[in-house]
Amino acid sequence: MRPLTSWVLRNLQAAVGTLGELWRAPLTSLMSLLVIAIALSLPSGLLALLDNLERLGARWEGPASLSLYLKLKTTAEEARDLAGRLEADPAVAGVESLSPDQGLAELRAIPGFDAALELLDSNPLPRVLVVRPGPGRHSDAELERLRAFLAALPEVDQVRLDLQWVRRLQRLMALARRAVWLLAGLLGLGVLLIMGNTIRLEILNRRAEIEVCKLVGASDAFVRRPFLYRGLWLGSLGGALAWALVGGGLWWLQGPALRLAELYQSGFRLHPPGLTAGLGLLAGGGLLGWLGAWLAVGRHLGEIEPD
C-alpha cells in the first residue's frame, strides 16, 4: 500500500471509529455537544440579530436626500430656476420641488394637525427642494461637501441632511458588532478550554489503553489521532447544533417580530442565519475542537508511558 493511501485510510478509520465511540456514549456526547453549542450560539445569535437590524436599517435608508428650505421671500419662479440649475450639476441626481401649499397639505394629512393648522391665517411654510445626490456621492464626505455647497446658495435658508439618525443607528450597530466579536473571542477561548478539559479527562479515562498501545509499538501519531478526531467531531457538531439553536431561536421570535412590523406597515421579517453562517460555525467549531484537543494531547499524552 502506498504511504499516502495508508495514511488516508488510518485517518478515515480513526475518524469513523471516534464517531462510533461518541455514538455509543450518547448522553456524555450530548452533554459535551450542548456546552459547546450554547457557547457558540450566544455570539452567533447576537450577530444574526445585528444582521437583521442592519437589513432593517437599509430598508429605511433608501437613497440619501437633502432638504433645502428656501428663504420665505423666494418666488416660485426663482425656486424653479434654482431647481433647474441644480439638476444640471453632476453632483445631483434629481430635484423635487415642494410648494408651501403641498407642504401644508402633507401636514394636514397627519391626524391632529388639522385643527392646529386652522388657527394660522397664512401659510408659514417655506418652499422646499428635495435634492437627491448623484451616483457615487453618498459617502459621508461627499454628502457633507454637497450640504456645504447648498447651504451657501443665496436662496437657501437651511439644509437638512435627512439621514442623520440612520447613520447614528449604523454607528451604534458597528459598536455593538465589535462588542459581539469581543464576546465571540472570549467564548471561543472558553470552548477551547472546555474541549481541552474534556479531552484531558478522556485521556485519563483511557490511560490503561494508551499504555498498552504504546507497549505494543503504537506511534505517537496513532495514540494522538482518536483524541484529535474526538475534538474535531465535538467541535464541528457543536457548531452545527449552535446553528440550529440560532435558527430555532429566530424562528421563535418571528411571530412577535412580524406583529411589531405590522404596526409600522413594514413587511420586515427575521432572516435565519444562512448556509454560509452554518458552514462557518461548523468549520469554526471544528477548528476550536481540534485545537483544544491538540493542546490537551500535547500536554498529557507524553506523561503516559508504560512501565
Partner 1 sequence: MIVFERVLKRYPGGRCGLDGVSFRLAAGEMAFLTGHSGAGKSTLLKLVGLLERPSRGQVRVLGRNLGRLPARQVHRHRREVGMVFQDHRLLMDRTLFDNVALPLVVTGTPHREITRRVRAALDQVGLRGRERALPSTLSGGEQQRVGIARAVVNRPPVLLADEPTGNLDPELSREIMALFERFNQVGVTLLVASHDLDLVKRLGHRVLTLREGVLVQDTGPR
Applying CB under 8 A, which of residues 215, 260, 279, 283 lies at the interface with partner 1? Answer: 215
CA 289 to chain centre: 23
Quote the CA–CA distance of 12 and 209 in Å, as a whole number: 21
> Counting contacts by CB under 8 A, is residue 25 touching partner 1?
no
Q: Provide the residue count of the chain.
A: 307
Identity of the residue, 110 or 208, whose beta carbon is nearer to partner 1 in the bound complex? 208
**Residue 183 vs residues 32, 43, 190: alpha-carbon distances, Å:** 21, 6, 10
- State in angstroms the smallest separation of the CB of 9 from partner 1: 7
Applying CB under 8 A, which of residues 81, 209, 262, 303 lies at the interface with partner 1? Answer: 209
Task: Answer yes or no: are the C-beta atoms of 8 and 152 closer than 8 Å.
Answer: no
Applying CB under 8 A, which of residues 60, 113, 165, 222 lies at the interface with partner 1? Answer: 222
Beta bridge partners of 47: none
Cell numbers describing residue 204:
485519563
Quote the CA–CA distance of 304 and 112 in Å, as a whole number: 82
Burial of 236 (0-12, 13-18, 19+ CB in 10 A): buried
Quote the CA–CA distance of 238 and 39 in Å, as a whole number: 9
Identity of the residue, 189 or 212, whose beta carbon is nearer to partner 1 in the bound complex? 212
Applying CB under 8 A, which of residues 10, 168, 171, 178 lies at the interface with partner 1? Answer: 10
Question: Position 251: which residue type?
Answer: W
> Counting contacts by CB under 8 A, is residue 9 touching partner 1?
yes
Residues between 40 and 79 that touch partner 1 (CB under 8 A): none
Task: Answer yes or no: are the C-beta atoms of 235 and 286 closer than 8 Å.
Answer: yes
> Counting contacts by CB under 8 A, is residue 217 touching partner 1?
yes
- State in angstroms the smallest separation of the CB of 213 from partner 1: 6
> Counting contacts by CB under 8 A, is residue 6 touching partner 1?
yes
- State in angstroms the smallest separation of the CB of 304 from partner 1: 13
Taking CB under 8 A as the binding criterion, the range among 105-113, 193-201, 206-214, 240-248 that sits at the site for partner 1 is: 206-214
Ordered alpha helix ranges (H), the chain: 3-24, 26-61, 76-88, 100-109, 113-118, 140-151, 164-205, 207-215, 220-263, 275-300
Burial of 12 (0-12, 13-18, 19+ CB in 10 A): exposed
> Counting contacts by CB under 8 A, is residue 174 touching partner 1?
no
- State in angstroms the smallest separation of the CB of 203 from partner 1: 16
> Counting contacts by CB under 8 A, is residue 262 touching partner 1?
no
> Counting contacts by CB under 8 A, is residue 219 touching partner 1?
yes
By CB under 8 A, the count of residues binding partner 1 is: 20
> Counting contacts by CB under 8 A, is residue 12 touching partner 1?
no
- State in angstroms the smallest separation of the CB of 48 from partner 1: 44
> Counting contacts by CB under 8 A, is residue 197 touching partner 1?
no
- State in angstroms the smallest separation of the CB of 208 from partner 1: 7
Task: Answer yes or no: are the C-beta atoms of 14 and 213 closer than 8 Å.
Answer: no
Identity of the residue, 165 or 222, whose beta carbon is nearer to partner 1 in the bound complex? 222
Residues that bind partner 1 in the complex, under the rule CB under 8 A: 1, 6, 9-10, 208-209, 211-220, 222, 305-307
